[in-house]
Amino acid sequence: MFRLSPVVAALLAGLLVATAAPAAPAAAPLPVTEVAPGVFVHAGAVAQTSPGNRGDIANIGFVVGESAVAVIDSGGSVAVAESALAAIRQVTDLPVRYLINTHMHPDHVFGNQVFAGIGATIIGHRRLPAALSARADFYRQSMREQLGAELAGAVTITLPDETVEREQRIDLGGRTLLLRAWETAHTDNDLTVLDEATGTLFAGDLLFMQHVPVLDGSIKGWLAQLPELAALDAERVVPGHGPPSAPWPQALEAQTAYLEALAADLRAAIAAGVPIAEAVDGAAAGQAGNWRLFEAYNPRNATAAFAELEWE
């Protein structure tokens, strides 16, 4: 039997890799919708992360200025981010100067390294670096289970280069984006992005549509900030999950009703001395028909909210 020496085999293997690399298929561009002039959105699936959807379950946006592009959220895997970048390249050759992370959840930040790799400055809430660092091991493990070892293993959790204390504007040439860091609501590191030229608000997961809202911060904080959020001067909103865009502020109504029902039901149960397991079962039950993934997330939301409201 013919055997190659290890050295020759290694050289040949290197040659094969070198010659195969240029033929590797380019990432297929994500479908995007231009929701306003120069503002593009890819609507992720309203679903939980799975190997089949590659973590493409959150909305991803990009805004094209005269001299640069800003991307809002990087998707739930390296593969999704590469497909997002391919979509950007179908629209413009301008440099992607900024990647803005709306918050720490993996479906919004697991593609960060792709944009870091092309020189984008990553910007997030002042609390994002600490929050994402604290969750890094947990996210690596849980995403391995949800995405599969191959897609999850490709991810290097990549933290922001710059953070926003309260408000910051970034200039893309001829248009500015207003970034705003919120107090604890969906998470403790929620950031919104307003394209002032078109009145397009990227709400991140401060706004869920279709997909039941997910609580990983403070229900009281979220409810308390809704009026201020609603008062933002925008014409349309890009939710973190749901359609590419919707009229503002009407888009907030369903989520407000859900959060108010959850809080009201739990406060009533707590006042009546109902034990947590029973309270969680009945909380926001009247909202079940309005949302997708209700059974997956409502019990968790109710458990978290019970713990918070119990002590008020």
Binding site for Zn ion (CB under 5 A): 105, 205
CB of 209 to Zn ion, least distance (A): 13
CB of 202 to Zn ion, least distance (A): 13
CB of 47 to Zn ion, least distance (A): 14
CB of 240 to Zn ion, least distance (A): 6
In the Cβ-directed half-sphere of 30, how many Cα atoms lie within 13 Å?
Answer: 31
Task: Using the minimum distance from each CB to Zn ion, give the nearer residue, 109 or 116.
Answer: 109
CA 256 to each of CA 147, 174, 193, 197: distance values in angstroms, whole numbers, following the listed order: 31, 35, 20, 27
And the tokens for 59? Answer: 């909305």
And the tokens for 160? Answer: 């922001």
Task: Using the minimum distance from each CB to Zn ion, give the nearer residue, 29 or 243.
Answer: 243
Task: Using the minimum distance from each CB to Zn ion, give the nearer residue, 203 or 254.
Answer: 203
CB of 206 to Zn ion, least distance (A): 9
Task: Using the minimum distance from each CB to Zn ion, give the nearer residue, 279 or 305.
Answer: 305
DSSP codes of every residue in the chain: -----HHHHHHHHHHHHHHHGGGSPPPPPPP-EEEETTEEEEPPPSS---TTTTT--S-EEEEE-SS-EEEE---SSHHHHHHHHHHHHHH--S-EEEEE-SSS-HHHHTTHHHHHHTTPEEEEETTHHHHHHHHHHHHHHHHHHHH-HHHHHT------SEEESSEEEEE-SS-EEEEEEPPSSSSSS-EEEEETTTTEEEEEEEEESSBPP--SS-HHHHHHHHHHHHTS--SEEEEEESSS-EETTGGGHHHHHHHHHHHHHHHHHHHTT--HHHHHHHTTGGGGGG-BTHHHHHHHHHHHHHHHHTT-
CB of 102 to Zn ion, least distance (A): 8
Task: Using the minimum distance from each CB to Zn ion, give the nearer residue, 105 or 125.
Answer: 105
CB of 104 to Zn ion, least distance (A): 8
CB of 205 to Zn ion, least distance (A): 4
CB of 20 to Zn ion, least distance (A): 38
And the tokens for 217? Answer: 């911060």
Task: Using the minimum distance from each CB to Zn ion, give the nearer residue, 240 or 244.
Answer: 240
Task: Using the minimum distance from each CB to Zn ion, give the nearer residue, 211 or 236.
Answer: 211
149: Cβ–Cβ under 8 A, 6 or more apart, which residues? none
And the tokens for 310? Answer: 């119990």
And the tokens for 27? Answer: 């990432």
Task: Using the minimum distance from each CB to Zn ion, give the nearer residue, 54 or 105.
Answer: 105
Task: Using the minimum distance from each CB to Zn ion, give the nearer residue, 155 or 274.
Answer: 155
